[in-house]
Amino acid sequence: MGFSRPDPAYFAHIEACIERLGEMGVEADLILFHPYDRWGFSKMGLENENFYLKYVVNRLSAFHNVWWAMANEFDLFTWKEMKAWESNAATVCKQDPYRHLRSIHNCMTMYDHSRAWITHCSIQRIDLYRTAENTDLWRTQYGKPCVLDEIAYEGDLPFGWGNISGEEMTRRFWEAYTRGGYGQHGETYETEDGVIWWSHGGTLKGSSPARIAFLRRIMEENGGYMEPVPCMFDETCASNSGPAAKRDCLLFYYGANRPNMRPFHYPDQTFDVDVIDTWDMSVTNIGLCSGSFQVKLPAKPYMAVRLTRVKRD
């Protein structure tokens, strides 16, 4: 229909999808531009881009569960200048009276997430191995929440971004959580019919979704978000201490390390201690411990320890 005549039927379909997601309690992070394009929309020029953005934001901003993803892998738009992205962002901000969350996603080159219009960092890993491990760095650098929108995918594709194991995917989620970030799941197993869940949905085949659901259970028990706190070099630790905390606790995660014991030293404090097996999805309570104490561990990877403070009368 041309760049100046949006297709009403297409956008009615998008609205129906957003509404369904809202009924499921899911936020719709809408990708406004992407470089994988056979129809010319990625090269329609700044004037047409901003016309399109006005239409999209005017039509969809009334939905409560909308986020704006300015682009997927913005740096693959090699023909587009940075000032054009800033113009696009200004249009979205101006047209959206509800101030939905806004970000922009990278491939290999990070956008400057310190820009005022960006509400959170939407980050793809830019290193073969380090992903969630960089959450601390990005939080400090940009001073904003970090969503790891492409943490790599559990699967068996020929490429490194699409063939990590369920164990590694689960580890990255726990690393993200205990470092104060937010992981994102995806799955890329080859199928005989060529339908990959990553692109088309369907039935999940991997081993990480159940473990991520278990992590969500732990998160909800802890009261949701936890703030990372200083700890030893071979662990990550997060705390939700504070007057509004649902559960006043410390959560230690050991990743691929395999300690058979861990010492703790908290003078004049008492904790209810849980040993969490993040892969076997079990929580073993070992009771109350005070002062200086040791917690025995099974010398296997992906273990965590939760210390819940016991209030004194």
Residue 27: strand, helix, or coil: coil
Nearest residue to 269 via CA among 229, 307, 231, 221: 307
Tokens for 234?
Answer: 């071979």
- At 268 the three-state DSSP class reads strand
**DSSP 3-state assignment of 214?**
helix
Q: What is the pLDDT of residue 244?
A: 55
- Residue 198, number of CB atoms within 10 A of its CB: 15
DSSP symbols for 76-134: G-TT--HHHHHHHHHHHHHH-TT---EE-B-SSS---TTSTT--SEEEE--SSS-SGGG
- The one-digit pLDDT tens for each residue of the chain (313 residues) are 588 899 999 999 999 999 999 999 999 999 999 998 888 889 999 999 999 999 999 999 999 999 999 999 999 999 999 999 999 999 999 999 999 999 999 999 999 999 999 999 999 987 878 889 999 999 999 999 999 999 999 999 999 999 999 999 999 999 999 999 999 999 999 988 888 998 888 889 999 999 999 999 999 999 888 999 999 999 999 998 655 566 799 999 999 999 999 999 999 999 999 999 999 999 999 999 999 999 999 999 999 999 999 987 6
CATH of domain 229-309: 2.60.40.3950
Domain residue ranges in the chain? 8-222, 229-309
H/E stretch holding 198: helix 197-200
pLDDT recorded at residue 246: 66
Dist. CA 4–CA 84, nearest whole Å: 19
User: pLDDT, tens digit, for every residue of 37-53?
Assistant: 888 889 999 999 999 99
Q: What is the pLDDT of residue 224?
A: 86
| Domain covering 8-222, topology | TIM Barrel (3.20.20)
